Amino acid sequence: MEPSAAKAKPQGRLLVSTPLDAKDELEERLERCIGIVQSLTNGLSEREANDALTANVCKGQQQHEEVCLGLFTLVLMEPAQAQRCYRDLTLVNRDGMNVVLVKINQILMEKFLKLQDVPRTQLVWLVRELVKSGVIGADGVLMTLMKQIAGGDISNKNLWLAESVLDILVEQKEWVVKSGMLVAMAVYTYLRLMVDHGTPNLLNLRQREVDFCISMLRERFMECVVIGRDLVRLLQIVARIPEMDLLWRDLLHHPQTLSPQFTGLLHLLTARTSRKFLACRLTPDMETKLLFMTSRVRFGQQKRYQDWFQRQYLSTAESQSLRCDLIRYICGVVHPSNEVLSSDILPRWAIIGWLLTTCTSNVAASNAKLALFYDWLFFSPEKDSIMNIEPAILVMHHSMKPHPAITATLLDFMCRIIPHFFPPLETQVRQGVFNSLNFIMEKRVLAHLAPLFDNPKLDRELRSMLRERFPEFCSSPSPPTEVKMEESAALEMDNHVLDKEEGCYDNTEAAFSDDEEEVNNKGKKREFRFHPIKEAIIEEPADITPYLDQLDDTMKEKVLLLQKASDTESQCEVMQDIVDLILEEDFDSEQMSTLASCLAELFKGHFRGDVLPDEITEESLEESVCKPVCLVFRNLCTMQEDNSGFSVLLDMLAELYQKQPKIGYHLLYYLKASKAAVGKMGLYESFAQATALGDLHTCLMMDMKACQEDDVRLLCYLTPSIYSEFPDETLRSGELLNMIVAVIDSTQLQELMCHVMMGNLVMFRKDSVLNILIQSLDWETFEQYSTWQLFLAHSIPMETIIPILQHLKYKEHPEALSCLLLQLRREKPSEEMVKMVLSRPCHPEDQFTSSLLRHWASKHDDVLSEHIKAQLIKNNNQPRKRQSLRSSSSKLAQLTLEQILEHMDNLRLSLSNTKNNFFSQTPILQALQHVQASCDEGHKMRFSDLFSLAEEYEESQSKPPKSRRKPPASSPRSRKGAAPPANNEEESVSSSASEEEDSKPKAPKRKRKGSSAVGSDSD
């Protein structure tokens, strides 16, 4: 099964490449090392060559590394010399092959897919030789090589690799068993791979894999126990193979025959599987793509990445088995930070839902569901993580509306797995699932499970089974739809997807934007937002029965009156009575939470739909804040902060906030829209400090995020007030700005710009604008353009943000570069601007610097020439550093002389076919003359055309016979007229041939003035 020989590449290249690919740095370095080895050994006998190599490696670390890497590369590229080069390598290396092991690992993790067939074959041969030699660290390399064997792939190359690694493991069994981790990793890998090798033509390979796994499991079982519960999952899948069936019988009935320390199946099932085992079944490329999707791709923009992943890895019938590996990896390894969870990054449950919907085989679908729920079955809050069980519940929760069939099949699976997973352990499995559900509620991943378990969209039989299995979770003692915000362990802020859940896995629903728009309109964020399908909302009557008994009689009476009140006016009257009861001295504060639950349930209709009137007038605004819940806000506004009732009402709002998080932005709206609240916006800060969050910034950002998702118009309406009232919270970072530009359309953008220009809104200030613009470089295209438009509406000098040029790369940041280009062309260049523009790396495709310099050269030639002259002379006088800007990508741009000269040469070429006389100006010519006098020969050769301008200038000055024959009387007069203006000099340099005789008499004076100016600058 060895891969077919590839066509020979010119110069025996290591990696597959196309004519368009840039030279690979690693390959380039390895080729240099080959050249060093060959230069040392050419024409020498084997003994002499070995002596020469040994002598060279003794000179220092660098020489040792070069020789070792040269021999290593020859092993990969020259099979005929491999044996001799490996022998030389073992003789000359001084670090236990460490430099070679590191390089092998690097190639395996980063370049393996690009290796040509011969180097790939030789790399496996080299690993085998390292194992034979017992090199310390070879086990790590072998595990990395195993990671490259892809699951669900029966292509010739993959089968050859699986067989080659198995050969090494079987041949070097005595060496293998010395490393417990290698034994466990190999067993885990080949138990998984034998699932793919069931076709008749692969039965021989599968039998070898079975024999190897059985021998390791029977002889080294305790080393395999460290795998944990996923060992049982893999053994279940291959249980029908006869040898595996016998092992299962011993595992269940005679565990002591496997190991005296093994107590039985429960021993394995209660042990959580380590991340390294779950990760070992994904190739580095798969792992990179999945991590990218879960950390960089925004929810709603994932389809193109999912399509690519499916084409690459999930398009064949055999790839069905890979879905289990992906789901286990996502559940057990990908644990996003709270920052990612609370953002709009693609959540884990959406990827898992997509994987489930692409299962076409019943067996694969069943195994995928088992992989999803596997950590539930024996979940222990003390040992296991909420992050392992969270994806399953969120897949079910968010699929209920758009894909009820997925929710139904998962709930059905969850119920049926309890008695059928392993009947003798039914009690433990039931307890594990119960623990999982309980922990999910405790951590507030979902506030309540009744809406999920007793949903009308589920068929009657399934709902009955759920009530029978989980009666504890089917009743609803509290409003079920809200989520407390203070629990952040796995909250995902409910992923902010109350709208987005409509289309989590595909774009087939009526509410989604077109796929083509996603590709072609990258920046139009609003195209990607998911809007609920417009359905008639069936208003269910508020159920406050569970809470009434916990209220005293007076309060109960008022709450019942509030429930019965039919019109807004009567509701407001009753609400005022309730507020008065709360403010009484004998009010029992223990009722506060219960009362808040009642109000949240009664007012849930007030939090649906748009808050802001369609037509904004004083009357419509005042009418919009005449709701019962606004009575609490109004009473708060009329009180003094030192009033005892003030803190009581704040506590009331804080309790209500926990039940209904939308109360936050409704309070902000009331404080802006109501006449009774003029000048009271500061009350929001007191409210924020009274909540469980206790922090103004966090509370404000969360409320604005909730507003962004519910009502974009309201977000834009509140924006000026939020920025003006809370500048320290809004202007320090780009968090709020990103929320705004992510959802506004072009009309709303224009309105915000008008607010800025009229002085009603300030979104940037000098001390933080640069940082915010740098943050915006990672945003979507439309978001970035909107940010720059809002910035340009402010009157902030360009010098404040010009250092951003050091962060901009022409391929990665075209939005910022194009906005800067258009703005800078309107500016008169300052010294700092010119310095920053010149400090950009020179690249043939990056026209930013050339186009801007050309524009400035035509509009502000005199100013530009002086600034360039200053930079040339300044950098010419600094010590030479032989370091190109492009070689230090991790550092910010540092201006070098070579860089300025490159940009100058590009400018010269762009002006060559024009009538522009920029390069005939005296300051430029003087500076070039100054640089030419002190630069090295390399620079003189490279920029010979540029320096030739200075030479012509020098020759035009130095014609002594004619100039000295002039009458002395003309000297003082010329000196007098030439001293003040420099323009006379420039005009004379660029004069026409017909005026040459007139200009020559002035040349000596120009030379004295020019050399003097250069001299003084250099001093």
Q: How far is CA 922 from the centre of its chain?
A: 51
Looking at residue 887, the DSSP 8-state letter turns out to be G
Closest by alpha carbon to 231, among 243, 219, 240, 223? 223
CA-to-CA distance for 467 and 474, rounded, in angstroms? 6
Q: Which of 120, 124, 88 is nearest to 14 (CA)?
A: 120
Structure tokens belonging to residue 22: 């840039």
State CA 836 to chain mean position distance: 28
Percent of the chain with pLDDT over 90: 34
Measure CA 811 to chain center: 18
* Mean pLDDT score, 53-64: 90
* Alpha carbon distance 753, 791 (integer Å): 9
More confidently predicted of 850 and 4: 850
Confidence of residue 900 (pLDDT cuts 50, 70, 90): confident
Single-letter amino acid code for the residue at 1017? D
pLDDT band (50, 70, 90) for residue 76: very high
Percentage of the chain surpassing pLDDT 70? 83
Does the pLDDT at position 540 exceed 70?
no
Structure tokens that stand for 301 in this block? 């923009």
Lowest mean pLDDT among 449-463, 535-549, 814-828: 535-549
Residue 427, phi then psi, degrees to nearest 5: -60, -45
Three-class SS of residue 298? strand
**Distance separating alpha carbons of residues 110 and 199, to the nearest angstrom:** 32
Average pLDDT over residues 912-940: 80
CA distance 319 to 71: 39
Give the pair of three-digit tokens for residue 841.
Answer: 């790396």
The closest of 160, 230, 138, 143 to 192, measured between CA atoms, is: 230
Tell me the two tokens of residue 462: 């399934």
Residue 67 has pLDDT above 70, yes or no: yes
410 or 862: which leads in pLDDT: 410
Residue 786: φ, ψ to 5°: -65, -40
Does 830 have pLDDT greater than 60? yes
- Confidence tier at 520 by pLDDT (50, 70, 90): very low
Q: Are 693 and 699 in contact (CB under 8 A)?
A: yes
Q: What are phi and psi of 763, to 5 degrees?
A: -105, -10
CA distances from 229 to 268, 417, 421, 552 (A): 5, 16, 13, 52
Q: What is the DSSP string of 697-752?
A: HHHHHHHHHHHHHH-HHHHHHHHHHHHHH-HHHHSSSSHHHHHHHTT--HHHHHHH
**Which pLDDT score, from 0 to 100, does residue 367 have?**
92
Per-residue model confidence (pLDDT) at position 268: 93
SS (H, E, C) 202-259: HHHHHHHHHHHHHHHHHHCHHHHHCCCHHHHHHHHHCCCCHHHHHHHHHHHHCHHHHC
The pLDDT of residue 284 is 94
pLDDT band at 958 (very low <50, low <70, confident <90, very high): low
Nearest 5 degrees, angle CA 490-CA 496-CA 502? Answer: 115
Among residues 551, 559, 586, the alpha carbon closest in space to that of 575 is found at: 559
- pLDDT-derived band at 889 (thresholds 50, 70, 90) equals very low
Chain centre to alpha carbon of residue 283: 20
Angstrom distance (rounded) from CA 77 to CA 122: 8
CB 610 within 8 A of CB 711: yes
Residue 953: what pLDDT?
A: 66
Query: Which residues lie closer than 8 Å to 466 by C-beta, 6 or more apart?
Result: 411, 415, 453, 454, 458, 474
Residue 957's pLDDT is 63
Q: Mean pLDDT of all residues in the chain?
A: 81
* Chain center to CA of 100: 32
Q: What are phi and psi of 345, to 5 degrees?
A: -70, 145
Cα-based distances in Å from 939 to 819, 919, 935:
34, 19, 6
> Tokens standing for 249?
């019988």
Closest to 991 in 3D by CA, of 917, 908, 925? 917
Say what the pLDDT of residue 1008 is. Answer: 35
CB 699 within 8 A of CB 660: no
Give the pLDDT mean for 388-415: 92
Q: Residue 630: pLDDT band by 50, 70, 90 thresholds?
A: confident
In this structure, is the dihedral angle defined by the CA atoms of residues 687, 690, 695 and 700, taken in order, positive or negative?
negative
Q: Which residues of 285-312 are buried (b: 16+ CB within 10 A; e: fewer)?
A: bbbebbeebbeebebbbbbebbeebeee
How far is residue 388's CA from residue 379's CA, in Å, rounded to a whole number?
9
Instruction: Name the 3-class secondary structure at 345.
Output: strand
> Is residue 846 very low, low, confident or very high in pLDDT (cuts 50, 70, 90)?
confident
Tell which wins on pLDDT, 994 or 672.
Answer: 672
Q: Which residue has the tokens 């809002």?
A: 790
Q: Taking each helix axis from N to C terminus, what angle separates 98-110 and 138-147, rounded to the nearest 10 degrees?
A: 10
Which tens digits make up the pLDDT trace of 699-755?
888 888 888 888 889 999 999 998 998 888 888 778 889 889 988 898 999 999 999
Instruction: Tell which residue, 664, 761, 677, 780, has the closest CA to residue 720.
Output: 761
Q: Is 93 helix (H, G, I), strand (E, B) or coil?
A: coil
Count other C-beta atoms under 10 Å from residue 899's C-beta. Answer: 22
Q: Establish how many alpha carbons lie within 13 A of residue 628's alpha carbon, considering only the half-sphere containing its beta carbon.
A: 28
Residue 460 CA, chain-centre distance (Å), reads 43
What integer pLDDT is reported at residue 875 of this predicted model? 78
Residue 967 has pLDDT above 80, yes or no: no
The model's confidence at residue 282, banded by pLDDT at 50, 70 and 90, is very high
Q: Please indicate whether residue 290 or residue 950 has the higher confidence score (pLDDT).
A: 290
For the CA atoms of 927, 930, 932, 934, what is the dihedral angle to 10 degrees?
A: -140
Cα torsion through 244, 247, 253, 254, rounded to 10 = 180
Q: Give the integer Cα–Cα distance in Å for 820 and 826.
A: 10
Task: Give φ, ψ of 488 to 5 degrees.
Answer: -115, 5
Q: Do residues 769 and 791 make contact, with C-beta atoms less than 8 angstroms apart?
A: yes
**Which of 839-843, 867-871, 965-969 is predicted least confidently?**
965-969
Q: What's the pLDDT score for residue 615?
A: 86
Give the model's pLDDT for residue 273: 94
Burial of 607 (0-12, 13-18, 19+ CB in 10 A): middle
Question: What Cα–Cα distance (Å) separates residue 1000 from each residue in 171, 231, 557, 920?
Answer: 90, 93, 108, 16
* pLDDT for res 995: 38
User: Tens digit of pLDDT for each residue in 217-267?
Assistant: 999 999 999 999 999 999 999 999 999 999 999 999 999 999 998 988 999
Q: Which long-range contacts (CB under 8 A, 24 or more apart) does 560-566 make?
A: 562/602, 562/628, 563/602
436 pLDDT higher than 90: yes
For 279-296, what is the mean pLDDT?
Answer: 92
Confidence of residue 885 (pLDDT cuts 50, 70, 90): very low
CA 311 – CA 65 distance, rounded (Å)? 41
**Rounded-to-integer distance, Cα 952 and Cα 932, Å:** 13
pLDDT of res. 159: 95
Residue 563 confidence (pLDDT) = 79
137 vs 888: which has the higher pLDDT:
137
Which of 258-272, 401-415, 549-563, 761-775 is predicted with the least confidence, judged by mean pLDDT? 549-563
Angstrom CA distances, 908 to 271, 851, 852, 857, 973, stand at 71, 12, 13, 11, 35
pLDDT score of 964 more than 90? no
676 vs 566, higher pLDDT: 676
Alpha carbon distance 53, 165 (integer Å)? 32
pLDDT reading at 997 higher than 70: no
Predicted confidence (pLDDT) at residue 409 exceeds the cutoff of 90? yes
